[in-house]
């Protein structure tokens, strides 16, 4: 989720935030150090698990397989350990599942000591095609260094080689690039897998559809891999906390691993790294030190922070955290309100912030942001009521009402029963979804609108699992339970049918090679925002486990 | 110096040493642990020096330059440090001199923190052409991993990158292979240079020829770079102790840095890692633990061990070490004597051991080994007399006499006044040289023989600085002082005129690209056996400093 960085940067360079810097803002700046300390106190201990590969595999071209490649088991791992690697020269080992952590292997001379250094290329792959697509010349739009190929020189044998960078993969290809005169073998390949999640999640009903059970399992695995010292978006690429991913992951966590300290840490970390005037950054780094991605603001993510805090409070009852971070929620809403013109989000106002919503360039975001903002203010007011702070934001309910009214006037086509967005009156899934979630449309209107877009192949459909989350949530809100279940099974189940070990950042059932980055191997194939079936399946048991 | 490894290995696998295993042999095996301990006790502390590059350079094609490339200074190093590396993408920095040690540089973001990892290729070069010759596909005969190119991924900024392997170079090329959206710069490039040598060597006479002074300087530098925790053959490639290199380096050390503990360490280390029956290995490794290169025996090197010990005793008066290691000398001579048939070295006897002598496949080694063996037994007897151990080896003087006699009969062509070797009666420099050094020929005969080969372009001439050492030594022994000085100036001075910062492993004035390994970039351009001008210039002051 990076394509828009440069655009944002240009805007940011040209603009200065216009919200008033008053007493509350100063209080913000003062509180950030304390919040950072809280984030530190909630740093989870990573659970480390040693995992060993069981099989040697080989890549086989198969037009039916995901991205055209599948892996075939050829030999048990011992046959690698018991034979010359000087002769073999190349191997792919299969850890049997997606892992995040640190890779180690041992090299021993088998006869005479090595008389010269060895050189290897190691390539770590989440999916088979990553090992079968040349990385260079690199055509992608993100740093090529996200690709997980490392070249190592081994000066002396025996040697235990550990790759310093944390990796995310299921398969590892080891290629011999330079050899000694004397023979040697590879052994003791292992992964120190890391995660801050433990446990197996909640037990499912015995009657559950096997595909739902499998989706739940893969969702749990996806979430677990992304739960590190923050909720990461992807353990292979980006490896960082985004507000949008946090929202979905923390809800899935509530219905599975229940590591609420991690959610607490992330909420404090984002708050600690906000601008001086309290405007949250969409994403923050942990290493080498906690730091925001400067000027990376997104209006939709900022507004979802308050919803995340609300859900956290509901799940934990941790009133202290919610109290402390409440001012952050107020700042996001108040800043967003400066964008309202006649109760409608002003798409012309500068600076324009990135509106994420989906991996879809062609999605018109006007109706979606109008709906999401209404939803977020409404939820943030619910938080205020839980904290007894309604007085501080007593105008919010009126804002919500006015926005709903304006939305119906400006975006709702009563004749066709769908929400339209932008000068071209675009009809998209997400426009309906956000007007449903914000209760701008009634359940009945929502069902009509969603049914219309579902049945019309010309509507702008979602491009990412992130967007599909909100579609399912909206369906449930409209009582479209069967269609919600059907969609969950077909979309996430579709990835499983294509061999997914974890859910992918990008999934278009019609295009295995889709990439927002111009090169599918740099896609993340274990991505946080795709884990939400865990939330749906475990929260709405009556719908998904029946 | 590795080409013959496989050949030796095959011989060794097929044969067992035939020397009797008696009381003395058992004593050997027992003493090795103690000798290893002595080697450890004499481990030198490495002197660490921080060196920073001053200039950015660029490669320029020049048919007149060594191997076709020269470096041109373009900018002071600060201009690298003060500018964007994202824009520059590639740079070559010049440390101004050959260095052996550890490379470090720093990378900082200059504006926003990096949003993605970076990837660099670093290439370390002793000579300019190493940076201008593609390494892949690698055509060489030794491990490609000796080539000093490393690929590094930098996950977070700021970062200080240190390359783990020890490197030997003057120039470093840094290439950007993958970048973040945001800008960054490189700074603080440095080398932690290591050597166990200190000081500047001995002062030269003020009247010294400037080219001799320069040769001495480059020789000192070469020796210093090779003096690590052993006398290494080359700090870039092999990085290990060979007996032949030890012999020349230790003599040069005696006339310069006088780090006699290092010589002592090497003598003990070789003894400790001998076969059970006392037969020395030609080369030993230090890492990951002291270990010989099994089955790597060379008859000429083994015999030179005793000469090395003799020269060490003369230089230091350290009788205790000489006493302790005396049995090792006896074993080498006694084993070599099993190869005598009618007082002539038997080239048919199995196992045949590698005879190094020179990088010349076409050199017939029969006369050279006959001469060297005579020389070595004679010198080893001199050691016996210094230690009062003549009684133990009282037959050696007769062996020497008999060998000289047999040599004159079998190898000396009185008519032409040259030594001939092998069935084709080859006339080579080295045949004359070893018959001179062994005093098989008188000085006068030697002068005649050497003059004959020097003046005949069809003779088999030396292929390496190692062989040229013995040529110069033989010239001096025959009183050919002017020609010795002339040869030293033309051969080693020739490297300097071609831009050498240190003396090379391989130097053929007529072929810049000569390589015993099929690929000139894998040659070592700082090689121990090329440092011996230091010995000549400082020992024979009347010849070289007048």
The DSSP line for A305-351 is HHHHHHHHHHHH--HHHHHHHHHHHHHHHHHHHTTEETTEE-TT-SS
Whether the Cβ atoms of residue B243 and residue B251 lie closer than 8 Å to each other: no
Between CA A115 and CA A112 the distance in angstroms is 8
Average confidence (pLDDT) over B516-535: 97
> With bands split at pLDDT 50, 70 and 90, how would you rate the model's confidence at A96?
very high
- In chain A, whose CA is at the least distance from the CA of B291? A113
What's the pLDDT score for residue B113?
Answer: 86
Q: Do A293 and B118 make contact, defined as CB atoms within 8 angstroms?
A: no
* Dihedral sign of CA atoms A124, A126, A131, A134 in order: negative
Q: Name the minimum distance, in Å, from the CA of A281 to any CA of chain B.
A: 13
> Count of CB contacts below 8 A, A vs B?
102
What's the pLDDT score for residue B20?
Answer: 42
Q: Name the minimum distance, in Å, from the CA of B158 to any CA of chain A.
A: 7
Q: Name the minimum distance, in Å, from the CA of A324 to any CA of chain B.
A: 28
Buried b (16+ CB within 10 A) or exposed e, B431-447: bbbbbbbbbbbeeebbb
- In chain B, whose CA is at the least distance from the CA of A113? B293
Between CA B426 and CA B430 the distance in angstroms is 11
Q: Do A115 and B293 make contact, defined as CB atoms within 8 angstroms?
A: yes
What's the pLDDT score for residue B30?
Answer: 85
Q: What is the pLDDT of residues A294-333, one digit of tens each?
A: 888 999 999 999 999 999 999 999 999 999 999 999 999 9
- A151 CB neighbours in chain B (<8 A) are 150-151
Which of B113, B178, B295 lies nearest to residue A145, judging by beta carbons? Answer: B178
- In chain B, whose CA is at the least distance from the CA of A116? B143
Interface of A with B (CB under 8 A): 2, 5-6, 9, 112-113, 115-119, 138, 142-146, 150-151, 153-159, 165, 177-181, 285, 287-288, 291, 293-295
Q: Which of A46-50, A208-212, B291-295, B307-311 has the lowest mean pLDDT?
A: B291-295
Which tokens belong to A312? Answer: 């956290």
- In chain B, whose CA is at the least distance from the CA of A287? B156
- In chain A, whose CA is at the least distance from the CA of B115? A293
Q: Do A295 and B180 make contact, defined as CB atoms within 8 angstroms?
A: no
Q: Name the minimum distance, in Å, from the CA of B118 to any CA of chain A.
A: 6
The residues near A166 (Cβ < 8 Å, ≥ 6 apart) are A100, A101, A102, A194, A235, A239
- A287 CB neighbours in chain B (<8 A) are 155-156
Whether the Cβ atoms of residue B76 and residue B54 lie closer than 8 Å to each other: yes
Could you tell me how far CA A112 lies from the centroid of its own chain?
50
> With bands split at pLDDT 50, 70 and 90, how would you rate the model's confidence at A17?
very low
Q: Do B153 and A165 make contact, defined as CB atoms within 8 angstroms?
A: yes
> With bands split at pLDDT 50, 70 and 90, how would you rate the model's confidence at B4?
very low
Q: Do B179 and A143 make contact, defined as CB atoms within 8 angstroms?
A: yes
- In chain B, whose CA is at the least distance from the CA of A114? B293
Predicted model pTM:
0.93
Q: Which one of B1, B137, B178 makes the best mutation probe of the A interface by having the most chain A beta carbons within 10 Å?
A: B178
Q: Which of A22-31, A402-411, A493-502, A537-546 has the lowest mean pLDDT?
A: A22-31
Between CA A368 and CA A383 the distance in angstroms is 22
Write down the ipTM of this complex. 0.93
Q: State the average pLDDT for chain A.
A: 94
DSSP codes joined into one string, A274-317: S-TT-PPPSEEE-SSS-EE-TT--BHHHHHHHHHHHHHHHHHH-
> With bands split at pLDDT 50, 70 and 90, how would you rate the model's confidence at B503?
very high
Q: Name the minimum distance, in Å, from the CA of A470 to any CA of chain B.
A: 28
Which tokens belong to B22? Answer: 């008696």
Q: What is the pLDDT of residues B431-468, one digit of tens each?
A: 999 999 999 999 999 999 999 999 999 999 999 999 99
Which of B150, B154, B287 lies nearest to residue A156, judging by beta carbons? Answer: B287
What's the pLDDT score for residue B99?
Answer: 98
Interface of B with A (CB under 8 A): 2, 5-6, 9, 112-113, 115-119, 138, 142-146, 150-151, 153-159, 165, 177-181, 285, 287-288, 291, 293-295
A540 phi/psi in degrees, rounded to 5: -100, 70
% of chain B at pLDDT higher than 90: 91
> With bands split at pLDDT 50, 70 and 90, how would you rate the model's confidence at B177?
very high
Q: Name the minimum distance, in Å, from the CA of B37 to any CA of chain A.
A: 21
From B201, B205, B204, B245, select the one nearest B224 (Cα to Cα).
B201
For residue B5, pLDDT over 70 is answered with: no
With H, G, I as helix, E, B as strand and everything else as coil, classify residue A454: helix
Q: Name the minimum distance, in Å, from the CA of A144 to any CA of chain B.
A: 5
- B5 CB neighbours in chain A (<8 A) are 115, 181
Q: What is the pLDDT of residues B52-111, one digit of tens each?
A: 999 999 999 999 999 999 999 999 999 999 999 999 999 999 999 999 999 999 999 998
What's the pLDDT score for residue B468?
Answer: 98
Q: What is the pLDDT of residues B14-47, one digit of tens each?
A: 333 333 444 455 477 889 999 999 999 999 999 9
For residue A4, pLDDT over 70 is answered with: no
Between CA B415 and CA B234 the distance in angstroms is 43
For residue A16, pLDDT over 80 is answered with: no
What's the pLDDT score for residue A43?
Answer: 97
Q: Do B118 and A291 make contact, defined as CB atoms within 8 angstroms?
A: no
For residue A519, pLDDT over 70 is answered with: yes
Q: What is the pLDDT of residues B112-125, one digit of tens each?
A: 888 999 999 999 99
- In chain A, whose CA is at the least distance from the CA of B158? A288
What's the pLDDT score for residue B111?
Answer: 87
What's the pLDDT score for residue A9?
Answer: 35
Which of A116, A145, A181 lies nearest to residue B117, judging by beta carbons? Answer: A145
């Amino acid at each position: 989720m990076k394509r828009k960085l440069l655009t944002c940067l240009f805007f940011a360079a040209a603009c200065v935030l216009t919200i008033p810097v008053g007493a509350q803002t100063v209080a913000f700046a003062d509180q950030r150090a304390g919040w950072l300390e809280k984030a530190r106190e909630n740093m989870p201990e990573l659970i480390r698990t040693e995992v060993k590969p069981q099989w040697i595999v080989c890549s086989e071209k198969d037009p039916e397989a995901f991205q055209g490649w599948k892996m075939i088991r050829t030999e048990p791992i011992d046959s690698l350990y018991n034979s010359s690697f000087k002769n073999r020269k190349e191997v792919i080992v299969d850890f049997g599942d997606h892992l995040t952590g640190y890779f180690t292997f041992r090299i021993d001379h088998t006869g005479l000591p090595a008389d010269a250094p060895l050189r290897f290329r190691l390539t770590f792959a989440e999916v088979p095609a990553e090992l079968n697509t040349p990385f260079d010349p690199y055509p992608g739009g993100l740093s090529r260094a996200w690709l997980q190929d490392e070249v190592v020189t081994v000066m002396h044998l025996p040697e235990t080689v550990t790759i310093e960078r944390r990796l995310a993969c299921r398969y590892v290809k080891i290629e011999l690039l330079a050899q000694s005169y004397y023979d040697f073998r590879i052994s003791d390949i292992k992964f120190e897998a890391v995660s801050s999640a433990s446990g197996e999640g909640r037990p499912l009903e015995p009657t559950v559809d096997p595909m739902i059970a499998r989706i739940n399992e893969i969702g749990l695995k996806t979430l677990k891999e992304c739960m590190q010292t923050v909720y990461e978006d992807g353990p292979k690429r980006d490896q960082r906390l985004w507000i949008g991913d946090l929202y979905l992951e923390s809800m899935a966590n509530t219905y599975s691993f229940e590591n609420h300290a991690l959610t607490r840490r992330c909420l404090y970390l984002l708050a600690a790294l906000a601008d001086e005037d309290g405007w949250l950054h969409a994403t923050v780094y942990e290493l080498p030190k906690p730091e925001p991605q400067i000027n990376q603001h997104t209006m939709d993510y900022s507004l979802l922070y308050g919803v995340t805090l609300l859900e956290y409070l509901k799940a934990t009852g941790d009133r202290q955290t919610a109290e402390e971070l409440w001012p952050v929620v107020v700042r996001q809403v108040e800043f967003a309100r400066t964008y309202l013109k006649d109760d409608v989000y002003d798409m012309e106002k500068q600076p324009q912030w990135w509106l994420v919503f989906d991996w879809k360039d062609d999605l018109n975001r006007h109706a979606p942001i109008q709906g999401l903002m209404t939803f977020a203010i409404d939820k943030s007011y619910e938080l205020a009521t839980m904290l007894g702070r309604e007085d501080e934001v007593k105008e919010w309910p009126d804002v919500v009402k006015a926005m709903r009214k304006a939305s119906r006037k400006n975006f709702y086509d009563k004749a066709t029963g769908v929400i339209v967005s932008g000068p071209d009156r675009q009809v998209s899934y997400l426009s309906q979804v956000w007007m449903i979630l914000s209760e701008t449309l009634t359940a009945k209107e929502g069902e009509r609108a969603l049914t219309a877009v579902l049945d019309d192949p010309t509507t702008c459909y979602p491009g990412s699992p992130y967007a599909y989350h909100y579609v399912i949530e909206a369906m449930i809100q409209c009582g479209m339970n069967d269609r919600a279940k059907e969609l969950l099974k077909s979309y996430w189940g579709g990835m499983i049918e294509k061999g997914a070990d974890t859910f992918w950042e990008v999934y278009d059932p019609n295009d295995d090679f889709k990439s927002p980055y111009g090169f599918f191997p740099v896609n993340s194939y274990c991505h946080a925002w795709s884990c939400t079936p865990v939330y749906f399946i475990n929260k709405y048991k009556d719908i998904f486990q029946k």
